[in-house]
Amino acid sequence: MPKEVYLDNSATTAVLPRAVQDMDECFLRSYGNPSSLHQKGIEAERILKHARHIIADSIGADDKSIIFTGSGTEANNLAIQGVAHAYARFGKHLITTSIEHPSVLNTFKALEDEGFSVSYIDADRYGNIDIDDINAAIRDDTVLVSVMYVNNEVGSILPVQDIGQLLKRGDHRIIFHIDAVQAYGKLPLKPLIPFADLMTISAHKIHGPKGIAALYIRDGIRIKPLIYGGGQERDIRSGTENVPGAAGFAAAASVLSSESAGYLSDLKQMLAKGILEAVSNASINGPDVDKGAPHILNISFNGVRGEVLVHALEQEGIYVSTGSACSSRKQKVSHVLKAMGLPTASCESAIRFSLSTLNTQDDIEYTINAVRHIVPSLMRFSRR
């Protein structure tokens, strides 16, 4: 059997044993409904309260500002639709970027169908945006700006703190939402809290379980709910809370370390250098290796189709992707790479390597050696 090397951590991560243990406790013993008045309910409520505190503390927020959701996609929808509908009487103009995650872009497209006006800020060839373009797009009827912190496909770091400062200086109130799903656990989020009105984070990107995420909502921000029911989560997100998921989320959040970024960056540098030296047809998409997020590396292997290389690497036990896991099965050219102005051939040959602290130098060396042998073979085959 080949060595297994998982390098698709931007899609999801392996769940930490401690998170599994804490979730098992909820499944097997503390399984009550946190809204119930008896002891089982009180135990579940205690676990939920503790989880909310751990997650809030990890981003420097108050406990009451954290709303649990079923996914990052739901949290993004709740933030964007919730604000757009709650503040529609003040204006119906919204701003985002052309390289956002589909859960953001498709939400804005749905709002356009409802009569909202959306300005999409373009990215440059490195996946960056210019804050002056944000400033130029602001109108008197602008009510919301939504920008991701780290792009999930190329790892560019967008200037969200500068955008937040710009919006705070404005003459009228504009709500600012940050999709921090790919930044959580890799870049510090606490410095953003003074400038963010809403922020999305997710458990399964930091070695927590799938099916649980959170939306930070600054005190005083109004949100129109997407889901109505029993009034859980401060009447913002009804439905019986996912207590095991919250417990697993908290377990993963409690072991986040500021040292992770340096470790990941070293692995990324090693991987980029090794691949560029191993094959002549490789080129990096997005920011320079030392300027982007520490865990995402997007490389085009010109002359080799990305999905073919994905499966060839899988045969060697190496798991990577062609882009966002939310759209990769549809085999469409990446909207992010297209927005960056890359030629079609580069888009079709792009591979995303995404790292976690569970990866090792041995994993990286193994991957480089595999690429060194596989890519020339695929190129010879494609010329036939």
* Structure tokens, 344: 């079609």
Helix 361-383 / helix 306-314 crossing angle, nearest 10 deg: 130
Of 321, 332, 98, 67, nearest to 214 by C-alpha is 67
Q: Do the Cβ atoms of 79 and 215 come closer than 8 Å?
A: yes
Give 165: exposed, middle or buried? Use CB within 10 Å, 0-12, 13-18, 19+: middle
* Structure tokens, 149: 């912190």
Of 234, 264, 295, nearest to 11 by C-alpha is 295
Catalytic pick from 88, 131, 326, 378? 326
| Chain Cα centroid distance, residue 18 | 23
- Give the dihedral of Cα atoms 322, 335, 301, 326; nearest 10 deg: 0
- Where are the extended beta strands (E) located within the chain? 5-6, 66-69, 93-97, 117-121, 142-148, 175-179, 198-202, 213-217, 282-285, 296-301, 318-319, 350-354
Q: Do the Cβ atoms of 288 and 318 come closer than 8 Å?
A: no
State whether residue 46 is helix, strand or coil. Answer: helix
Residue ranges of alpha helices (H) inside 214-280 are: 243-253, 260-278
* Structure tokens, 357: 């602290």
How far is Cα 116 from Cα 110, in angstroms, rounded to an integer?
9
Q: Do the Cβ atoms of 342 and 124 come closer than 8 Å?
A: no
State whether residue 8 is helix, strand or coil. Answer: strand
* Structure tokens, 203: 């458990």
Residue 26 annotated among the catalytic residues of the structure: no
How far is Cα 51 from Cα 69, in angstroms, rounded to an integer?
13
Of 53, 55, 61, 295, nearest to 190 by C-alpha is 61
Residues that are catalytic: 326
